[in-house]
Copies of this chain bind each other. A is one copy, B any other.
């Protein structure tokens, strides 16, 4: 098929990424990752691309009970940005059962990943799969060497719990924002927050805005805007109820009541 939407995305890398995922479905993720890397050595890849610039490894660290849109939003941006490999990893590897019982994959195993350029931790109500010391250790290890350490929604609570956000400003879903203080991070209510090499988006849908911002950071504003046009991101919400400050009081108060603690940004995720 003519991969027309992939013209902003070098064909060789698209095929490498797809080949990696196909192999991961068929067998062990560690073997697949090694084999996929072998398909095209880095020097050869740079030559094919006509650029010496190294491809960017962008990793979504997903997990059971995670919220699909938290990473499906930025993935739709990043997977169309030139010279950028989007990868997915999870605590156990393989297919992951998300919130509402939907299944997504394939994923590599978090412990098998050596190093990435960008780590992005999406959010959920139930963060328990990531809150184990061993898994937080891998999040911390990958964050220490990554160029950018990022999150969407309550993913910032996972990053904070791993210890990497001490003294750093971070976004979070509005209902959980002040939980960041428990881990020494500084809550910032902005939709996209950048503090040095740390970037974060607010709740769920903020992942798309975050995706464009990190894409511009990585590959420039031209590339980010081309993808914005490709995915027709010209939002026109039929209502204005997307944050507590703007939502009609009758909406906001019902949601405050349904989400205990949310009025003060202190709703508790499942840890």
A83 within 8 A of B: no
* Pick from B101, B105, B174, B228: contact of A237, CB under 8 Å: B228
CB of A232 within 8 Å of the partner chain: yes
Does B242 contact A5, Cβ atoms closer than 8 Å?
no
- Give Cα distance in the complex from A139 to B28, angstroms: 37
Interface string of A15-50 (1 = CB under 8 A from B): 001101110010000000000000000000000000
Instruction: Verify A267–B229 contact, CB threshold 8 A.
Output: no
Minimum C-beta distance from A267 to chain B (A):
7
* A208 lies within 8 A of chain B by Cβ: yes
Q: From the candidates B73, B238, B241, B247, name the one contacting A209 in the complex (CB within 8 A).
A: B238
Contact B192 A205 (CB under 8 A): no
A136 CA to B209 CA in the complex, in Å?
35
Determine if A255 and B241 form an interchain contact, defined as CB atoms under 8 angstroms apart. no
Q: A78 CA to B236 CA in the complex, in Å?
A: 18
A231 at the interface (CB under 8 A from B): yes
If A8-B258, A72-B69 touch, does A235 touch B242 (CB 8 Å cutoff)?
A: yes
- How distant is A117 from chain B, measured CB to nearest CB, in Å? 18
A235 touches B232 (CB 8 A): no
How many chain A residues sit at the interface, stated as a range, is 35 or more
Q: In the assembled complex, which residues on chain B have CB atoms less than 8 Å from the CB atom of A97? A: 25
Contact with B along A214-245 (1 / 0, CB 8 A): 00100001101110111111111111111110
Interface CB pairs A-B, < 8 A, 16: A4-B259, A17-B100, A18-B100, A21-B100, A21-B102, A25-B103, A72-B72, A73-B73, A102-B105, A209-B235, A225-B247, A226-B258, A228-B247, A229-B242, A234-B237, A234-B243
Q: A88-B102, A229-B243 are in contact. List 7 more A-B contacts (CB 8 A).
A: A203-B232, A209-B236, A228-B237, A228-B241, A229-B251, A233-B237, A234-B240
List residues of chain A with CB under 8 Å of any chain B CB. Answer: 1-5, 7-8, 14, 17-18, 20-22, 25, 65, 67-69, 72-73, 75-76, 79, 86, 88, 95, 97, 99-106, 125-126, 128, 153, 173-174, 191-192, 202-206, 208-209, 212-213, 216, 221-222, 224-226, 228-244, 246-248, 250-252, 254-255, 258-260, 267, 270
Report, nearest first, the 7 A-B pairs whose CB atoms are least far apart: A234-B242, A203-B232, A235-B235, A21-B101, A72-B72, A225-B241, A18-B101
